[in-house]
Structure formats: structure tokens, C-alpha cells
Amino acid sequence: MAEASRWHQGGTPKHEQHFRKEGEIRTTLQELLLYCIFLINLCILTFGMVNPHMYYLNKVMSSLFLDTSVPGDERTNFKSIHSVTDFWKFMEGPLLEGLYWDSWYNNQKLYNLKNSSRIYYENILLGVPRVRQLKVRNNTCKVYSSFQSLMSECYAKYTSENEDMSDFGLKLNTEWKFSAPSISGPGHWGFAGVYQNGGYIFTLSKSKSETQSKFVNLRLNSWITRGTRVIFIDFSLYNANVNLFCIIRLVAEFPATGGILTSWQFYTVKLLRYVTYYDYFIASCEITFCIFLIVFTIQEAKNIKEFKSAYFKSIWNWLELLLLVLCFVAVFFNLYSNIQNFLLLGQLLKNTEKYSDFYFLAYWNIYYNNIIAITIFFAWIKNMFLAIINNTYSEVKADYSLGRRPDFELGKMIKKSYKDVLERLKLKKPQTDENSKKKSGDLAERARREGFDENEIQSAEQMKKWKERLEKKYYSTETQDDYQPVTQQEFRDLFLYTVELEKELHYISLKLNRVMRKVSALP
């Protein structure tokens, strides 16, 4: 009761604390609502770029070029290639049959193909496929002296320093002559090394018979040598039914240990971004995302300016900065890939007699998808933090608005919020009730040991309960108004509380009178 009296005498008035707390909650709800809208917009951007057709197109293409067995050997396909002989069998078998579809299942000619192949009758082969080889020079490794009489040649693993750039074999066409790598094209990270562009390159013909003759000629003239370290097979498809491009790369590495390691990449991407009404809706979401990014950037810039070095002491603020950086990187990748699509797509589709390098465009689209996936991952982490600590987030914002550092750490805050959630879900009993019951029980036992009567103990406990309940009702800092209506039951409790107080006061007065009489009787 004395504590309540001190509260009325000084400190912040009740109505001001009420309005301040109400303002904090309103601010927190507004920020949470704004962030939820941003998160929904980001989810639409992320999942709006993919559809089930991407998976199915990858599946049918991988089944055609990876799982189809070579003629006469059902156990050998691209995945199980282990020797140069197996590799040529694949080139002249499953690859050749998979690339050229010029008739129906009943051997009737297809409709007007305009000199292009239709894989599975629905997927247009863009341009012509390309085969590229990278080699290393002889004597790029050192043979131990005891074995030099047995081994006159030594080919090390592939590096840019060990790469062979000299013409070899027939030295007639591009497949026998080295082509310098392009600066803009991305490299390839394989099992046995990192490979750059360029090398010994040739393209396939539009005619199936000519391509088959090309493969036979290369095999008979030993195009693959001991210095060969990797062979790339690149081609691209377009399916107009679902407006998707499928960029395929089959890789066969020839490591210095011998044998062949195969790998593959199937990139199904949507390079023609804005075609349908849904695509334009996604475009509006991209604009909204940029607006959110500008707003959040200005907000964080103001916070850094206000709090200076103290801003960087919070893990929460570092998460905010990480999200902003990822968002800017995603915007950059998106803009760059769209610009490259606009500049290069038309040029790649013009000449159908050359290899159309869509791998470069797919490469940047895949990077954009990866960045946006990472962004949404951290955005959901932040959202989970907001969901867990929503009951304390307003206090943090209020402390920052007053220029104070929160008096608790993030770990303690999460632990406290976690306990609150368990109590609300009834998975854990409130800690305060257990402590109060234990403390009350200890005081009662102590009173019994000191000789107090049982009726006095029960009366004291009832008084304590009434006092706590009434103080919570009429002297709590959460009271919304100075005037509170009193019900009939509450009036009865107040009356009984007053009667008990009067009894206690009378009892104490009698004790004081006895003491005073004893004192006065002393000589």
C-alpha cells in the first residue's frame, strides 16, 4: 500500500504512461504490418518465377540424354561412362538419336521444321549443338628418375598454366585448332578442376547423317588424346507451349588418374519474362520491392546517423543490414540479366546455323534465383524473431526513441519470450505462481514454528490475498483511468478487508496498551 502511495505522489502520471504504451504498441503493429506486406511481396517474386513445368522439362530431358543406354549395352549410358570407347558409343548413339527428331513414330515426316529439330516433337533445338575440348601439354609434370625409362610422356592435371594451345592432329578445321577463350563467358567448376572458355571447338550439323560422319572421322583420327582433360557438349532448347528455355551442358572430365568423370547441368529458365498478364503482375511486385528497399534503406540510414557506433552493437541491426545488401544484390542481378536478355536474345535467335550460347543468360538467371532464395531465407528468420518477441519489441523501440540502450540482451529477451510462449500454450506453469506459493508456504511454516495460532495464520494469508488482489486492481501502473467502477462483490471484499484491518488495528492497540502498562509498572 505504501508503494502505491509513493506511485501517486511522483513519477509519470497514469494517463501519460497509458498513452505512451498505446503509442508503442501502435508503432510496433504498423512496422509488423509493413514488414508482412514486404514479405508477402518477396514470396510472390520468389515463387512466381518458378512453375511445375520447369521440373518436368528437366526430368524428360535428363531422362533422354542421361539414362538412355547405348545400343547393344543396356548398362552403359552417360552416367556410367568410364572409358574413351564408352564415350564415343554415347556420342554416336544416345546423343545423336536424342538431338535429331525428323520423323514421327510411324516414320512419317514431321510438319515444316524450318531446318530445325523438334526434340520430343515440342522442344525446338536453338541453333546447333557445340562440342568443346580442353587439353594439357606434355611434360607438364615431373617423372621420378627411376621411371623415366618407362614413361616418356607426362600430362598433369588441368590448369591455365598447363593448358595446351597448339594445333594438333589434322590441323584443318576448328576442332584441331585452338580458339582463345572469351572474356565475358563464365568458367566451369568441375570435379577435377576449374575450366575456362575456349579450346578445340566444333559445331554439329543440321543433318543427322553429316553429324554421324563427323563423329566417326574424329574417332578414327584420335581427337581425344592423353592430354584431353575435359569435353563439353552444349545445346539449348525452347518450348513455346510453356515459354521456357532449357540450357543443357553435358561434361566428361578426363582426370590425370585415368577414367572419365561425368556431370551435367540442366538449366530451365524463363528468359522471356513479360508475356502474360500474370507476368505483368510480377513486374508490379518487382517495382513494389524496389520501393520497399528505398524506404528501408532511408530508415536504416537515419538510425545509423542517430546512434552512430552504438547501432552496430546489435545483432538485430546486422541482420537488417544483411537483408538490405542481399536485396540490392538481387536487384542488380535482375537488372543485369534482363538487360542481357534484351541485348542478346534477338541476336542469338537470328542465325540458326551457329551455336547459340544461352548458357551465359541462364547463368545470370540462376544466380538471381539463388540470391533471391537466400534473401527470403533471412527475411523469414527476421519474421520469426518478430513473431517470438512481439511482446517486448515495443519496449526496444521505445528505448531507442528515447536515446537509451535496451537494458537486456537479445539472448535474455528470446529466453524470456520463449518461456512466455510455453506458458501461453500451457506447456509450462507460470514461474511467478510457483514462487509465490512456495514463499507463502515457507512463511506459514515459520509462523507455526514460532508459536502463532492457526487462526491467526489463516487470517494473515487471507489478508495478504485481499491486499494483492486489490492493489492489482486499484494501484497497478496498467490502470487506464483514475476512476474505476466497483461491483457489488468488489465492494463486499473492500468492506471485509476494512473490517479485518480494524480487527488487526484493535489487536495491535491492545498489545501496545499491555506493553505500556508493564513499562509504567517498572520501578
Q: Per-residue pLDDT for the chain (523 aa), expressed as one digit of tens each?
A: 333 333 333 444 444 554 555 555 566 667 778 888 888 998 988 888 888 899 999 999 999 999 999 888 888 899 999 999 999 999 999 999 999 887 777 777 765 555 678 898 889 898 899 999 999 999 888 888 778 778 878 999 999 899 999 999 888 888 999 998 877 778 899 999 999 988 999 999 888 899 999 999 999 999 999 999 999 999 999 999 999 999 999 999 999 999 999 999 999 998 888 888 888 999 999 999 999 999 989 988 998 988 888 888 888 788 889 999 999 998 998 888 888 888 888 777 777 778 888 888 888 888 888 888 888 888 888 777 666 655 454 454 445 444 444 444 444 555 555 566 555 555 555 555 555 555 556 666 666 666 666 766 676 677 667 666 666 655 554 444 444 555 666 666 666 667 677 777 777 777 777 767 776 776 5
Is the same domain home to 264 and 334? no
Q: Where are the alpha helices (DSSP H) in 351-474?
A: 359-388, 390-401, 410-424, 431-449, 454-474
- Residues sharing a CB contact under 8 Å with residue 143, sequence separation 6 or more, in sequence order: 151, 154
User: What Å distances lie between residue 421 and 109, 296, 408, CA to CA?
Assistant: 69, 29, 19
- End-to-end Cα spacing for the chain: 41
Asked if the structure places residue 388 within a domain, the reply is yes
Task: Identify whether the C-beta of residue 176 lies closer than 8 Å to the C-beta of residue 200.
Answer: yes
Rounded CA gap, 102 and 100, in Å? 6
Is the same domain home to 295 and 193? no
Rounded CA gap, 147 and 370, in Å? 49
Asked if the structure places residue 414 within a domain, the reply is no
Is the same domain home to 220 and 293? no
Asked if the structure places residue 367 within a domain, the reply is yes
Query: Helix, strand, or coil here: 368?
Result: helix
Asked if the structure places residue 3 within a domain, the reply is no
Q: At which of 269, 298, 329 does a domain end? A: 269
- Residues sharing a CB contact under 8 Å with residue 165, sequence separation 6 or more, in sequence order: 178
Is the same domain home to 168 and 251? yes
- Per-residue pLDDT at 519: 65
Is the same domain home to 251 and 387? no
Asked if the structure places residue 410 within a domain, the reply is no
Tally of domains in the chain: 2
Is the same domain home to 323 and 353? yes
Asked if the structure places residue 485 within a domain, the reply is no
Domain extent, residue 318, equals 276-402
* Dihedral angle sign, alpha carbons of residues 281, 285, 290, 292: positive
Is the same domain home to 191 and 329? no
Q: Which contiguous run of DSSP H or E holds residue 134?
A: strand 123-135
Of 323, 306, 322, 477, nearest to 397 by C-alpha is 306
Q: At which of 269, 294, 327 does a domain end? A: 269
Q: At which of 269, 303, 331 does a domain end? A: 269
Is the same domain home to 206 and 83? yes
Task: Identify whether the C-beta of residue 81 lies closer than 8 Å to the C-beta of residue 259.
Answer: no
Asked if the structure places residue 444 within a domain, the reply is no
Hey, how many other C-beta atoms are within 10 angstroms of the C-beta on 80? 16
- Per-residue pLDDT at 311: 86
Is the same domain home to 300 and 185? no
